[in-house]
Chain A
Amino acid sequence: MGEVEMSHVQTLVERHHADPEALVEILRELNQQSGYLTRETIVAVAEALRLPVSQVFSVASFYSMISLAPVGRHVIRFCEDAPCHMVGGRQVWQALEAALGIKFGETTPDGEWTLLPTSCIGLCAVGPVMMVDNDVYGNLTPEKVPEILARYAGGAQ
């Protein structure tokens, strides 16, 4: 872990007044910035908050918005819960796997894409829904998938 990241953990922890109650929020914010948490980050947070490393790891591994493994440059989170499933989610799911050539839970070999399932994100009125990084796409059809993915190809965003 570099100096920058270390001081970053420090800053973030201080902003939350080194309050152990803020652990979930601190981990989530760190995850938002770097996509996933390394072992070094977990240890740094534990030290800054004076908590056992095991406890920080336990919390980090519990929440779905915190990742402990590297992810691709873009992360797709696709909802296939009942409301989205009812309106064609299954077909979009298959289209995503076909377009990226990977299964859910995997990252493309070039490190561009990670395809993850997510639980309901509360946008069911426009299902099927997915999030690409922080962008939301609704009313998805298999036909729209390649077009949306193309927007992220080649350095854009």
Chain B
Amino acid sequence: MIRARVLVSSDPVSLSRGAEALKLALEAELAFYGLEDEVQVGFAGQLGRQDALPMVAVYPEGVNYGPVRVEDVPYLVQEHLYKGRVVEHLRAAPEALTGPLARLPGREGALYAQRRVVLRRAGAIDPTSIEDYIAQDGYFALGKALTEMTPAQVLEEVKQSGLQGRGGAGFPAGLKWSFVAREKGPVKYVVCNADESEPGTFKDRLIIEGDPHAVLEGMALAGYAIGASEGYIYIRGEYELARERLDQAIRQAEELGLLGEHIMGSDFSFHIHTHSGAGAYVCGEETALLDSLEGKRGIPRVRPPYPAAKGFRNRPSLVNNVETLANVPPIILHGAAWFRTIGTPRSPGTKVYTMLGDVNITGLVETPMGTTLREIVEVYGGGMKGGKAFKCAQTGGTSGSIIPASMLDVPMDFASMAEQGASLGSGALLICGDDTCIVDLMFVLLRFFKAESCGKCVPCRLGTTRIVEILEQLRHGQAKPEDLAQLEQLALSMQTLSFCGLGQAAAVPILTGLRHFKAEIEAHLQHQCPAGVCQFQTLKPAAPAPRRIAMGVR
């Protein structure tokens, strides 16, 4: 009889600080008191802010301790798990509970309930245990689909749900599925895009690290619906822990017959493979991803043909983002009508955001689509940091729009944002206070794109370089009025002429910055930086530092 569960945070930071030794110490100490059958110890994903890691959460009470050292374990076990007394001095400070995974259920100070669909298990189950996942309705949706539904019905359910791709573009997922479903087989692929490289975005990492089976189940459901029997997860090279979690989860699911041949005794077979990238932002673009998956340089392909017709290995392929796929099991389990009760009519469901910058609480939040930026900043972000005034936000990561305070009350869903000329993108929210300089911000953003442009097409390759030069001159008061006109012209050219989404999106922060903050940018021509960030000394002759890690002959 299990009466309590103890979860140890196991994100990369916690692991580097000895989370594994901590778990072993907890198990040994529990065995000393003969509690090993009553108290179960497991790993969780990231539980709190870095200064409180590694953290230990004790359920069902929902008490969070952190940072916990191995030396603390004997007292902690004796007091809390043997005698039932909370050890106050080891408790994590309330503000420490606001880290990368903001406000778990049962946390002290959890004032506002988030509506959790995608993250409902992350941090509350042991991601290395398939039993934990199954105990929380895991693989029930797959079971329901295989026993009660035809592939067409599964596809229809996803269509009816109105689920949109969560990778950034918001394309209707059901429609994308139907494009692949209508292609003739026999070989089709489901590809999960876990190449999360958008600066400021780490939702997919935490979904995978905290609940890897949800992604696998979503992929299997997609495979069933479109008639694919193989799935590939392309995961960025930097996410080593996430890949380990996925590999382990795949093995566990195959052992139980939940993946592999004849799943649950049905005629449906589905195998999932993982594949690591090696560092290239452009591989998040789906056709570049497919090339990289085939062992080549990640260069975007000409479209059409779209991946739905000729994708991985030139076969019909469905490419979906991690968060999109993680939404599928609950949709199949609870139905499209249920899913549509969350969010807005045009964008049902929730969105996972990574909130960063000048807010008191940074980290991951999941809220219904249509939540306004003001609510997210004020409620989930705990307001602006240090009494700063809100100046602007960049939504959707580095390729997202810079939006001013006047847009704080726009409902955040794909359609409403698009109507305002902004993008929801990947869900990164960079909140900037009034001490942020727009020119400096744009410079940092475009420096990233200059480094990550794959070089295939001229508008992106030269456009990013030239824009960085102009912004560098602006920052140092060396730009001329005509440079501003050229800045806009370059950005427009990139937006309209770039080969793939990378170059097109790189123009977005420039164009939206110019639209909303033109006066501030123009002030830099007069050697004035209203935010007081730019130093107008002479430009150093040295070029900005190279951004590529590869140092080969080019």
Known: A83-B199, A119-B281, A121-B238. A59 touches B295 (CB 8 A): yes
Max count, chain A CB within 10 A of own CB: residue among B430, B436, B445: B430
What are 10 A-B residue pairs whose CB atoms fall within 8 Å in the complex? Answer: A61-B552, A67-B552, A82-B394, A82-B398, A86-B358, A86-B441, A117-B546, A125-B100, A125-B354, A135-B16
Decide: A86 and B13 in contact? CB cutoff 8 A: no
- A22-66: contact bitstring with B at CB < 8 Å (1 yes, 0 no)? 111101100100000000000000000000000001111111111
Smallest Cβ-Cβ distance to A131: which chain B residue: B238
Q: How large is the interface on A (under 10, 10 to 19, 20 to 34, 35 or more residues)?
A: 35 or more
In whole Å, how far is B505's beta carbon from the nearest beta carbon of chain A? 14
Decide: B280 and A62 in contact? CB cutoff 8 A: yes
Smallest Cβ-Cβ distance to B232: which chain A residue: A21
Contacts from B to A (Cβ < 8 Å): 12-13, 16, 49-51, 99-100, 196-202, 205, 236-239, 275-281, 292-298, 354, 356-358, 362-364, 394, 398, 428, 430, 432, 436, 441, 444-445, 448, 451-452, 454, 542, 545-554
Smallest Cβ-Cβ distance to B400: which chain A residue: A82
Known: A68-B550, A104-B545. A119 touches B297 (CB 8 A): no
Decide: A63 and B198 in contact? CB cutoff 8 A: no
Which chain B residues border A25 with CB–CB below 8 Å? 275-276, 278
Interface status of A139 (Cβ within 8 A of chain B): yes
Which chain A residues border B444 with CB–CB below 8 Å? 80-82, 85
Smallest Cβ-Cβ distance to A116: which chain B residue: B549
Decide: A82 and B549 in contact? CB cutoff 8 A: no
Decide: B199 and A139 in contact? CB cutoff 8 A: no
Known: A68-B552, A126-B49. A21 touches B448 (CB 8 A): no
Decide: A66 and B16 in contact? CB cutoff 8 A: no
Which chain A residues border B554 with CB–CB below 8 Å? 61
Interface status of A12 (Cβ within 8 A of chain B): no
| Assembly CA distance A104 to B197 (angstroms) | 21
Which chain B residues border A124 with CB–CB below 8 Å? 199-202, 354, 356, 362, 428
Smallest Cβ-Cβ distance to B98: which chain A residue: A125
Smallest Cβ-Cβ distance to A20: which chain B residue: B295
**Which residues of A from 109 to 154 have beta carbons under 8 Å from B?**
116-127, 135-136, 138-139
How many cross-chain pairs have Cβ atoms below 8 Å apart between A and B? 177
Smallest Cβ-Cβ distance to B46: which chain A residue: A125
Decide: A87 and B546 in contact? CB cutoff 8 A: no
| Assembly CA distance A118 to B545 (angstroms) | 11
In whole Å, how far is A56's beta carbon from the nearest beta carbon of chain B? 10
Contacts from A to B (Cβ < 8 Å): 19-25, 27-28, 31, 57-69, 77, 79-83, 85-87, 103-105, 116-127, 135-136, 138-139
**Other-chain contact of A63, B16, B100, B239, B279 (Cβ < 8 Å):** B279
In whole Å, how far is A106's beta carbon from the nearest beta carbon of chain B? 9
| Assembly CA distance A82 to B199 (angstroms) | 7
**Other-chain contact of A23, B99, B277, B295, B548 (Cβ < 8 Å):** B295
Decide: B294 and A69 in contact? CB cutoff 8 A: no
Which chain A residues border B202 with CB–CB below 8 Å? 122-125
Which chain B residues border A58 with CB–CB below 8 Å? 297
Which chain B residues border A27 with CB–CB below 8 Å? 278
In whole Å, how far is B9's beta carbon from the nearest beta carbon of chain A? 13
Decide: A28 and B276 in contact? CB cutoff 8 A: yes
Known: A24-B295, A125-B362, A139-B50. A62 touches B550 (CB 8 A): yes
Decide: A105 and B546 in contact? CB cutoff 8 A: yes
**Other-chain contact of B279, A23, A59, A64, A139 (Cβ < 8 Å):** A64
